A and B are shown apart, each in its own frame.
Chain A
Amino acid sequence: GENVEQHPSTLSVQEGDSAVIKCTYSDSASNYFPWYKQELGKRPQLIIDIRSNVGEKKDQRIAVTLNKTAKHFSLHITETQPEDSAVYFCAADRDDKIIFGKGTRLHILP
């Protein structure tokens, strides 16, 4: 079955710098890759997603890249702000289900 690995588990970046979170997946049949943000005490919220027929997608300060050959996908946050502090989860679809990575806790340092 699908296995999603996520790195790093914790990431600290200076406010204004960029943050990158990387994921790999195992099932070559996966073709949908969402990213979720979970703020403290709140439910996970979808922030961006990408399908396998696209290599990159951008939404303001957030971008995702996908390398289907290498089974890698990444989340890039530019010009980080304090409100970006949260736990981020990558995920991949598997047979109409979504399998999640273990999460990355992102700290934005003042």
Chain B
Amino acid sequence: DVKVTQSSRYLVKRTGEKVFLECVQDMDHENMFWYRQDPGLGLRLIYFSYDVKMKEKGDIPEGYSVSREKKERFSLILESASTNQTSMYLCAIPSGTGGIGGYTFGSGTRLTVV
């Protein structure tokens, strides 16, 4: 069974803090993705990575960065948290190969910035 683990289920941070969201996968997959989910806006792609040390911007990268030092771990970084980054953050990896099988998601981190 594919496992995608997000270290925190709930986080509360103050405006201006640097925030790290961690995602770990056990499938040795090259590709990892970070999405944020907001009511009425669906899931929007923030950043993704095709391999260690590689990163690509998604559709809404502003205010975020990422780190992929090891294949199994993909970190999302909020350099200076703001209230408009209050959201549910979901990490995902491909479930299958060759583009078949969609994604497996982590359980999500609900971040509140106060």
Chain A interface residues (CB < 8 Å from chain B): 1, 6, 9, 32, 34, 36, 42-46, 49, 51, 89, 91, 93, 96-103
Task: Determine how close the nearest CB of chain B comes to the CB of A85; give it in whole angstroms.
Answer: 16
* Residues of B in contact with A, size category: 20 to 34
Secondary structure at the A interface, as helix, strand, loop or mixed, is strand
Stretch of B16-24, B41-49, B69-77, B78-86 at the chain-chain interface: B41-49
Give the tally of cross-chain contacts (CB within 8 A): 54
Q: Is the CB of A46 within 8 A of B99?
A: no
Q: Is the CB of A99 within 8 A of B45?
A: yes
Q: Is the CB of A46 within 8 A of B42?
A: no
User: Which residues of B sit under 8 angstroms from A91, Cβ to Cβ?
Assistant: 102
Q: Which of B33, B50, B100, B105 has the most CB of A within 10 A?
A: B105
> Could you say which of B31, B35, B58, B103 contacts A46, with CB atoms under 8 Å apart?
B103
Cα–Cα, bound, A1→B59 (Å): 9
